[in-house]
Amino acid sequence: MNFCLKSIATAVLVSFSPLIVYAAESESQGAESFQTTCVNTWMNRVNEAKDKVDYKDFGEKYCECAATQPLDSDEAVNKAIQLCMSQTLLHDTMDSLEEEIGLSEATEDDISEYCLDRWNLVYPKLSENGKRATQAYCECAKPKLMGLIKEADNMTDKQYADEINSIAAACSPQVKSDKAASNTSEE
């Protein structure tokens, strides 16, 4: 199962490295803002997405996160991609749950469904290994998010957001930024 998590994380890194690097380079050249460049680059992949509005909203949140990260080396870019993708997935999952069902009415099955839906929004054509990895990610997050929902009324918005980020970090696969991660064979 660890291989599957590494595979999906590697796919995230490979897919979005050019996006972050291009946006960071444009920012340093004084062109458009990082956020604008990042979102525009994100939208270049929109053809794969079924829901273009949700896809753009997700990209804006992702780019907002990336704009706060250090992007001064390949390793830093890879870390930002992994961190921001994981955090954005869970924040978007919880936002969608709250808007469409209400957190007090959400079940573990709802959390799984919405988490997988967010992955499918970003990666509509996942391989079987990718699907297993996203399932594992969502299964990791599910009980933690359910616990968060039970405590949410006693938290500030910042505490709530920080806890989602903590869950994202706990469930995010640890992938090395070197090329060996993409060449790993199934164990």
pLDDT in tens, 59-81: 999 999 999 999 999 999 999 99
Residue with tokens 């991609």: 81
Q: Is residue 85 part of a domain?
A: yes
In this predicted structure, the answer to whether residue 108 has a pLDDT above a threshold of 50 is yes
Percent of the chain with pLDDT over 70: 75
Q: For residue 6, what is the enclosing H or E element?
A: helix 2-28
Q: Is residue 96 part of a domain?
A: yes
| CA quadruple 76, 78, 82, 87: dihedral sign | positive
Q: Is residue 152 part of a domain?
A: yes
CA distances in angstroms from 59 to 47, 118, 159, listed in the order given? 14, 11, 23
Q: Is residue 65 part of a domain?
A: yes
Q: Is residue 185 part of a domain?
A: no
Predicted local confidence at residue 160, as pLDDT: 97
Predicted local confidence at residue 47, as pLDDT: 77
Reported as a single tens digit per residue, the pLDDT across 32-66 is 788 899 999 999 887 777 788 999 999 999 999 99
| Domain carrying residue 105 | 2-174
Largest CA distance in the chain: 48
Q: Is residue 182 part of a domain?
A: no
- For 112, the token pair is 């799984």
Domain count within the chain = 1
- Please list, in sequence order, all residues whose beta carbon lies within 8 angstroms of the beta carbon of residue 59, skipping any fewer than 6 positions away: 38, 39, 42, 43
In this predicted structure, the answer to whether residue 175 has a pLDDT above a threshold of 60 is no
Predicted local confidence at residue 64, as pLDDT: 93
Query: What mean pLDDT value characterizes the chain?
Result: 80
Q: Is residue 47 part of a domain?
A: yes
Q: Is residue 67 part of a domain?
A: yes
In this predicted structure, the answer to whether residue 20 has a pLDDT above a threshold of 90 is no
